[in-house]
Chain A
Amino acid sequence: MGDNLNILFINTDQQTWNVVSAYGNPHVHTPHIDRLQKNGISFMNSYCADPVCGPARTSWVSGLYTSENGVPFNGGRMHEDIPDLGQVLTRNGYHAIHCGKWHVEDRKMRDSFHNLYTGKRDIGACGGEYYDRVSTHAVIDFLDRYDQTTPFYLQVGLVNPHDICEYLHNHEHKTIPGPIEQGLLAVEDLPPLPANFEYDEREIILQKMLHRDKVTSIHAPILNGIGDWTEDQWRFLTWNHHRFVEAADQQIGLILNALENSRFKNNTLIIFTADHGESSGCHRSFQKFSLYEESIRVPFIIADLNDQLNIPKNVLDTEHFVSGVDLVPTVLDYAGIEVPEGVQGLSLKPLIEMGCRNAMCEVNVGEKDESKAAQVIAWRDFAYVESNFWGRAIITERFKYIMEYRPKEEEDFVPPGPDTNAVGLEQLFDLVEDPWEIKNLAGESDYGSVIEECRKKLFSFERRLHRRPLREGRLRDYTQRLSGQLHERWAAYDG
């Protein structure tokens, strides 16, 4: 692969893995993402590296977790010496192009990519209504006119469904009646409340501080503004999110239809994912920043619109854990370019090719030919996610383990780890018995050994990371402030 293979990376912003009609969600209509699903392999256990825009996107282009790349929060600063995907591709003969939302912190997109379109003022966090249609125009124009022989890597950052954040912000300063009172919808038009709307309140302190507290929450004005929401208003939040997802899907449709009739149809690999999820009332919460599934688990599809790239069709991979850090090695592997030293992610290409072989076995033989299908590829046995500097989670085949580090006595701005920070509170969920993460098992004696094992896995993994201190700047002030607030909470907790 590599010779003249083009790569089209389409990403949405704030779309949870299951807000896709092809995966069985009856309340949203996404025919174009469904088309990708049918034309490719969906990694159903895909997790972002860190569930917020800047960190997730910095992990995409660096192949590193946020404790390594310098961006654990929006507003972080990516370490200058880390090469990004655009630089590596360009150095190796690819035409690397960016279009739409960038939001990689402190890395100038134009230094790494050719700029196709990024708004009149570079797109910040939001504005799907303004930008996405123009991004699509830019992509159509590019596919119509690109006449170079150099293969291209084109990444398209759609902002929607992120406009759901503006829907939420809109409630900060005014009272907006629910959809029934407005006369817009009937109750039966609304999707149901999520099964985990009522949740186990035994959460880590970091989560309580940044999500539940009406003063210290990341979006305290929203939290205060929606404090008296009825169940119908929570359901209307989800309804609106679905409409924004559909809006993004419609842009994807135009892009795919343009690609299909362009001269690049037969030699373009398509990667689709989202930077993080949207809580939509799950755990009675909104937006992202948490370590629950709705916040960290995202769709991840690799597809093509032809039969020439060895991509399995209509395959749901429920076995392998995929991370946002896998984008860099996957793209580079397909492009035939060596992966820079130190990158944490893994290339999905071997899995895809194995999936293709297995799928072919099933198609051709009628039943799986075990001798061909039983090829095992060494792969990670859990997904690892960081959040809000001190929060961590691993997801194994059965369990979700969430933990937090206590802040250091003196903040040195080196992301916390097992050898420098004490462990705070923990949460454990049995994802087989409790996929909605409703019951925290961390306090139950029967699960002591599971916690122990998860903690061991996490520590072992984290000892391999190259954590580096945050660069000078405002983020240090922010981290210092959060650290102080956490110390106060821990002091109260320790009592």
Chain B
Amino acid sequence: MSKLHWSVDYAYASPLSADKTQENFQGQFRQILADALSSSPVDFNARTKSHRYSLLPNFWAGFKRGEVQNLNIGQVSIERKRDDGDVWRYAIEHENTISGEELFLNFNCDHKPARPLTGSWQIRTQNSADGSYSSLSLTGACDEEIDGERAVRVTTASGLSIGAGSIKQDEILTCNWALFDILPSLRENGGLDRLAILDDLEILKNDCRIKPLEDWVFESGDEQHTLTGFSVYGRGFPPTYWWLTESGEVAVMSTMLTTHVLNERSD
């Protein structure tokens, strides 16, 4: 069996031996990814796309305190539809069983390679963890340009307005979940050196860069899949690693603590 790329290789010692943990992770990771890659790819030009990712721990010392048989820590689904006006309408559902919060995001992006955010957006949360915090609803938008800058703002349902930073008028602002469509469009053209990412539609990460990485050949049985690598990082945004299939879909994305692995796709 070929080695996993270091960026997604969960390898930390747990209450079981490191070997056992790796075996668990590698088994689950490989199975999910192999199954997904053997399904039909989504047409790059489809007007409706849906991708669902399993969340596995990339690295976390306190992971599940010994419960390592099932490494699933949540999932995220990314659904988007391109309307007649060339606007992509995104709906994201992100469940994280470690934090206990479920996140529902709705936003729109122009049909351009860098998927700039357009119009207003909605954030809704649901917390299942113990504590008096149970849910939050926010709407967001960019203010009109003043002195060459646009302020980004989110507002609670009762009207509490919260500044979320500002971007230069000529700066592209997108959402981290739109990166799943931005990166495929960069496959032929390399990286991107200046991008503002509104993380989960509320935390502005300025000065982000997308850098191409090496290829990684993922082996599954007799099949080989060459995955194209990218890294995305920026201010307040430690490097994340992205791996794209030959058909231009994000198959795997890892952050410091989480590996997102494709498990379902449709158009």
**Residues of chain A having any CB pair with chain B under 8 Å:** 29, 99, 114-121, 124-127, 129-131, 133-134, 137-138, 140-145, 163, 165-167, 169-170, 172-177, 182-184, 221, 240, 243-244, 246-247, 249-251, 253-254, 257-258, 260-262
CB-CB under 8 A from B235, the residues of chain A are 29, 243, 246
Beta-carbon contact of A127 and B127 below 8 Å: no
B238 within 8 A of A: yes
Q: Is the CB of A247 within 8 A of B12?
A: no
User: Quick check: is B100 within 8 A (CB to CB) of the other chain?
Assistant: yes
Please tell me which one of the listed residues A118, A124, A183, A246 contacts residue B213 in the complex, with CB atoms under 8 A apart.
Answer: A183
- Name the one of A114, A119, A142, A170 contacting B99, with C-beta atoms under 8 angstroms: A119
B259 in the interface (beta carbon within 8 A):
no
Complex Cα distance, B136 from A104, in Å, reads: 28
A169 and B133 form a contact (CB under 8 A): no
- Asked if B98 and A119 sit within 8 Å, CB to CB, the answer is yes
Chain A binding surface SS class: helix
Query: Within 8 Å of chain A (Cβ to Cβ): is B263?
Result: no
Pick from B35-43, B141-149, B158-166, B167-175 the stretch touching chain A.
B158-166
User: Contact at B98–A175, with CB atoms within 8 Å?
Assistant: no
Q: Are A163 and B163 in contact (CB under 8 A)?
A: no
Interface centre among A120, A145, A257, A258 (most CB of B within 10 A): A120
Contact B236 A118, beta carbon cutoff 8 Å = no
The residue that B160 contacts in the complex, of A117, A124, A258, with Cβ under 8 A, is A258
Give the distance in Å from the alpha carbon of A134 to the alpha carbon of B166 in the complex: 22
Q: Which residues of B contact A176 (CB under 8 A)?
A: 6
Known: A127-B257, A137-B136, A257-B162. 9 other contacts (CB 8 A): A99-B131, A134-B100, A134-B125, A170-B11, A170-B59, A182-B231, A246-B235, A247-B236, A253-B164
A8 to chain B, nearest CB (A): 15
Contact of A257 with B163 in the complex, beta carbons under 8 Å: yes
| B99→A166 contact, CB < 8 A | no
Tell whether A116 pairs with B236 under 8 Å between CB atoms, given A126-B60, A166-B256, A182-B231: no
Closest CB in chain A relative to B143 CB, distance in Å: 13
A98: nearest residue on chain B (CB-CB)? B131
Residues of B within 8 A of A138 (CB): 127, 131, 133
**Chain B residues in 8 Å Cβ range of A246:** 235-237
Per the bound structure, the CA–CA distance linking A169 and B62 in Å amounts to: 12
Give the interface residue-count category, chain B: 35 or more
- Residues 229-252 of chain B: 1 if any A CB is under 8 Å from the residue's CB, otherwise 0? 001010111110000000000000
CA distance A127 to B100 in the complex (A): 13
Which residue from chain A places its CB closest to the CB of B212 in the assembled complex? Answer: A183
B97 at the interface (CB under 8 A from A): yes
User: In the assembly, what is the distance between CA of A246 and CA of B163, in Å?
Assistant: 17
In the bound complex, residues from chain B placing their C-beta under 8 Å from that of A131 are 98-99
List chain A residues, Cβ under 8 A from B192. none
- Known contacts A166-B257, A254-B203; is A130 also within 8 Å of B211 by CB? no
**Interface CB pairs A-B, < 8 A, 6:** A117-B133, A137-B127, A144-B160, A173-B18, A221-B13, A249-B236
| B101 within 8 Å of A (CB atoms) | yes
From A29, A124, A141, A177, contact of B62 by CB (8 A): A124
Whether A247 contacts B237 in the complex (CB less than 8 A), given A141-B136, A258-B162, comes out as yes
Q: How far is the CB of B139 from chain A (nearest CB, A)?
A: 13
Give A165 to B238 CA distance when docked, in angstroms.
13
B188 at the interface (CB under 8 A from A): no
Distance A62 CA – B99 CA, assembled complex (angstroms): 28
With the chains together, A124 CA to B165 CA distance in Å? 30
Chain A contacts for B202, CB-based, 8 A: 133, 254
- Report the nearest A residue to B206, measured CB to CB: A29
Inter-subunit contact B97/A120 (CB<8 Å): yes
A116 and B131 in contact, given A166-B59, A257-B163 (Cβ under 8 angstroms): yes
B99 close to A130 (CB less than 8 A): yes
Query: B77 CB to closest chain A CB, in angstroms?
Result: 19
- What's the Cα separation between A119 and B100 when bound, in Å? 6
* Contact (A116, B132) CB under 8 Å given A127-B60, A243-B238, A247-B237: yes
| A115 closest partner in B (C-beta) | B131
Docked pose: A141 CA to B135 CA in angstroms? 8
Taken together as a complex, chains A and B put the C-alpha atoms of A391 and B176 apart, in Å, by 45
Judge whether B16 is part of the interface by a CB distance below 8 angstroms: no
Residues of chain A contacted by B211 (CB below 8 angstroms)? 183-184
Decide if B205 is an interface residue (CB 8 Å cutoff). yes
Contacting pair B131 A117 (CB below 8 A) = yes
Q: Which residue of B lies closest to A120 (CB)?
A: B100
Cα of A127 to Cα of B101 in the assembled complex, Å: 14
Find out whether the CB atom of B256 lies under 8 angstroms from the CB atom of A129: yes
| Bound form: Cα–Cα A29–B97 in Å | 31
Which 3 A-B pairs rank lowest in CB-CB distance, beginning with the nearest? A120-B100, A246-B236, A138-B133
Most central of A145, A167, A244 by chain B CB within 10 Å? A145
Given known A-B contacts A182-B231, A258-B162, A133 and B200 have beta carbons under 8 A apart: yes
Contact with A along B97-134 (1 / 0, CB 8 A): 11111000000000000000000000001011111110
Q: Which residues of the other chain, A, contact B75 by a CB distance below 8 angstroms?
A: none
